[in-house]
């Protein structure tokens, strides 16, 4: 197997490879760009025209997606998976991955779309580097651009595998991409309605990629992801990489649950209180009239929306950051 296919081993060891470029027997080029960053270029004759960015480890303890990317890289380096797409593999936060922590000082996934410029520290610098790597990769005109940023969640979820679709003014959501996610085992998609500071929001809004954050189960340590079944996603990625993907159409949306953001719960002060059980699952439904949270100056969040559900509740975030999202079901007809 080509040594550059062992990108995860290099990243965990903090080593820079001696050889920065290697070729597979079929002529695909593997090029090491930076720590945790590997570009793969297929032979010109077999290039499908797709630029595919796969990232994982933006949070260092989300190991199932890291292991998935490692399997894909090994298969390419062994010649078992023959890429027709141009690809960029990114392990987002090497420092946190090595320590098995979500992050060390700052959540990198709150530092994109320029927010890193307002911060200091290693993770702000890494967010800046990831933006530059993605911008360089998606700089070729006339190509299809797709980014999957793979995560696992802090808490359990009533819908285990779901996607977050960023928003940008004037852009229409792609039903084809939603059908592709459905075929890959994603059960629900959350449609954002304003700009965000996540990695996928950056590539969607600034680099014009179709981009998604994929939540793929609960965060566990390396080697303990037997309960996270990523078979359908892995099979679909094989097809996308090799250019052998079955066609998908609007009928492929059948069974896919769609949600829209109703409100974000912002923690303003240390007095913030979130009135939810500590072990509440993502997508738990809350009744109308329920007092969800309180903060200074008699700030109260009460449930007003029918069918409202909570995702990503976290009262321990820093002041000024989101402590949860209220979402409501929507119909595919509202996609436009």
- Cα dist. 66→86, 131, 142, 256, 295 in Å? 19, 19, 30, 25, 37
Give the residue among 336, 309, 23 at the shortest CA–CA distance from 162.
309
Residues 157 and 215: beta-carbon distance below 8 Å: yes
Do 205 and 267 lie in one domain? The reply is no
250: confidence class by pLDDT, cuts 50, 70, 90:
low
243 and 273 co-located in one domain: no
Residue 193 and residue 129 share a domain: yes
Q: Which of 215, 237, 253 is the last residue of a domain?
A: 253
- Is the CA virtual torsion 61, 66, 67, 68 positive or negative? positive
CA–CA dist 16, 88 (Å, integer):
17
Per the annotation, does 116 bind a ligand?
no
Q: Are residues 161 and 265 in the same domain?
A: no
116-144: average pLDDT: 95
129 is catalytic: no
> For the stretch 68-94, what's the b/e string if a residue is b when 16 or more beta carbons lie within 10 angstroms of its beta carbon?
bbbebbbbbbeeebbbbbbbbbbbbbb
Q: What is the CATH number of the domain that holds 331?
A: 2.40.50.630
Q: Are residues 205 and 320 in the same domain?
A: no
Determine the average pLDDT of the residues in 115-123.
89
pLDDT in tens, 183-205: 999 999 999 988 999 999 999 99
Are 191 and 52 in the same domain? yes
Q: Is 74 annotated as a binding residue?
A: no
- The pLDDT value recorded for residue 318 is 86
What is the CATH classification number for the domain harbouring 203?
A: 3.40.630.10
Statement to judge: residues 264 and 248 lie in one domain: no
**C-alpha span between 120 and 111 (Å, rounded):** 11
* Average pLDDT value for residue range 29-57: 98
Asked whether residue 223 falls in the same domain as residue 265, the answer is no
**Which of the residues 215, 242, 281, 305 is marked catalytic?**
215
Final residue in a domain of this structure, among 253, 268, 284? 253
Residues 160 and 32 in one domain: yes
Q: How many domains does the chain have?
A: 2
Residue 314 has pLDDT above 60, yes or no: yes
Domain stops at, among 214, 232, 253: 253
In terms of domains, do 138 and 18 share one?
yes
- Domain residue limits at 265: 260-335
**What number is the average pLDDT over the span 82-95?**
98
Residues 207 and 304 in one domain: no
pLDDT tens sequence across 228-249: 789 999 999 999 999 999 887 6
192 and 115 belong to one structural domain: yes
């Amino acid at each position: 197997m080509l040594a550059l296919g062992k990108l995860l081993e290099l990243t965990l060891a903090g080593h820079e490879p001696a050889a920065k470029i290697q070729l597979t027997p079929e002529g695909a080029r593997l090029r090491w760009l930076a720590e945790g960053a590997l570009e793969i270029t297929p032979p010109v004759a077999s290039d499908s025209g797709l630029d595919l960015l796969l990232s994982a480890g933006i949070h260092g303890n989300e190991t199932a997606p890291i292991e998935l990317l490692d399997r894909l890289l090994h298969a390419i380096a062994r010649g078992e998976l023959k890429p027709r797409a141009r690809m960029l593999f990114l392990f987002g936060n090497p420092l946190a991955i090595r320590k098995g922590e979500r992050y060390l000082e700052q959540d990198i996934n709150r530092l994109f779309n320029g927010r890193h410029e307002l911060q200091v520290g290693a993770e702000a610098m890494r967010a800046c580097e990831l933006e530059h790597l993605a911008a360089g990769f998606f700089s070729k005109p006339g190509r299809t651009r797709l980014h999957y940023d793979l995560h696992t969640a802090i808490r359990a979820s009533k819908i285990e595998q779901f996607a977050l679709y960023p928003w940008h003014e004037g852009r229409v959501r792609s039903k084809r991409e939603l059908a592709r996610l459905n075929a890959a085992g994603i059960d629900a998609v959350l449609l954002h309605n304003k700009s965000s500071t996540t990695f996928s929001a950056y590539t969607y809004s600034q680099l014009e990629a179709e981009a998604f954050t994929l939540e793929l189960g609960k965060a566990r340590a390396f080697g303990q992801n037997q309960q996270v079944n990523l078979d359908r996603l892995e099979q679909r990625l094989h097809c996308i990489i090799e250019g052998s993907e079955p066609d998908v159409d609007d009928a492929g949306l059948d069974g896919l649950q769609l949600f829209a953001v109703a409100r974000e719960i912002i923690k303003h002060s240390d007095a913030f209180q979130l009135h939810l059980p500590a072990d509440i699952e993502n997508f738990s439904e809350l009744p109308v009239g329920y007092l969800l949270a309180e903060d200074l100056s008699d700030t109260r969040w009460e449930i007003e929306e029918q069918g409202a559900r909570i995702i990503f509740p976290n009262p321990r975030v820093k002041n000024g950051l989101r402590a949860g999202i209220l979402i409501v079901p929507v119909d595919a007809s509202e996609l436009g």
